[in-house]
Structure 1
């Protein structure tokens, strides 16, 4: 560990995660995406913008025969990801690649992965508030790579009939669907995430397929907190929290 870092436990998954005490810290969103995506047995999985590697770490614990590549262009976050992989003894199944999404075509042949995941930056550069926390703006705001770039790279990386799963902001859902249609990616599943049953959706999870067509399945909404603002049973199960 370095000065200014914490180690946080995800007991359900047997993980210890090093994070910046006052920098960018993972949220609930990547854990929801892990539950939504569920890779097949023996799948090869890429995570675009892996941050501290929370997505490959959780999925590696859940799916013992899958292998992972976490892509991260911020050096500080990539360093955290590499140390988290070592800390949890998963170096034989998770590789961390220090690379921009725009540069991945030179790193992998086309159709190298069964599943591509991403929790991409959802704010356009120059919009929203500037965060004082190190790394948060690069995690939330598009920098070198845009939504179009993330989708195009995911399409390049995934095998024919493979799956692409994103968690994104619902305000940009029309843009996400329009760009996916332009790139001939078929939407297969959609699930909205609500903070409470009465609140507007705060995130959306979408699965796209390359080289397949099917009717879009709109799943029941995922509600994070119920009465009294306690976690709902589904979210508590994802987090490994015992319900009273």
Structure 2
């Protein structure tokens, strides 16, 4: 059986890992990691963290964070701990084998929660092969409402919740957030090119925030010649310019 795969976020940067049976790292995690406006000293919770790619991306941007990842998959948590040790960030990147719906973490103890959640209900179409991939992509193990409820409980008053999702679930997402006391504050749609319909959305909500949603300019991934845009290159750490 093929072993874990290791890749670097950038030359000389942090390295992430994923197993053969797990959902491979995708664009959505990189895009999501670019959304929060990080502050040194923040406590961050990654809901459904997998092997910890999102936490490592945040630490690549801001080293003075404490990131706690929750996941129900033992192999993903094992690999995440391996990655923390490999990168010598065990003092800043922690993993807990827990169901986010029943976590023992104290309420109100985080400044930021992030999540790359399952996008589709099980009834939306054919299920991915393998338990780990089904857990990552479909709402078999937890629903959108479960994720928002966990974030609403774990965040301090005024704390931020950032996540990536599909545009067709926007109404569901906004309703779920408000239902848990998380006010949508920033929305950014992601398109391959300006003339294409959005394929993803990035959204930030605030616990106890006042009503008022800022719709930011779209994030475009590709130039007319097919090359990555400058912003996408920055998100992938291919350029030194700040995000």
- Calculate the TM-score normalised by the size of structure 2: 0.92
Report the counterpart of residue 84 of structure 2 in structure 1: 85
In the TM superposition, 1:30-179 aligns within 5 A as 30-104=29-103, 107-132=104-129, 135-179=132-176
d(CA) in 2 for partners of 1:215, 1:8? 40
Does the CA-based 8 Å contact 2:152-2:181 persist in structure 1? no
Query: 1:143-182 deviations in whole A, cap 9, x for unaligned?
Result: 2311111001100000001111111111110011112222
Query: 1:66-93 deviations in whole A, cap 9, x for unaligned?
Result: 1010111111211221111111111011
Higher mean C-alpha deviation, range 14-23 or range 95-104: 14-23
Does the CA-based 8 Å contact 1:161-1:212 persist in structure 2? yes
Does the CA-based 8 Å contact 2:46-2:113 persist in structure 1? yes
d(CA) in 2 for partners of 1:137, 1:196? 29
The alpha carbon displacement at 1:94 in A equals 0.8
| Aligned CA distance change for structure 1 residues 218 and 13 (closer, same or farther; 3 Å) | farther
Does the CA-based 8 Å contact 2:44-2:111 persist in structure 1? yes
Report the counterpart of residue 15 of structure 1 in structure 2: 14
Does the CA-based 8 Å contact 1:12-1:240 persist in structure 2? no
The answer to whether 1:221 aligns with 2:218 is: yes
Q: What is the RMSD of the two structures over their aligned residues, measured on CA atoms?
A: 1.9
Higher mean C-alpha deviation, range 203-212 or range 130-139: 130-139
| Aligned CA distance change for structure 1 residues 217 and 128 (closer, same or farther; 3 Å) | same
Equivalent residue of 1:229, what SS? coil
Aligned counterpart in structure 2 of residue 196 of structure 1, from 193, 196, 204: 193
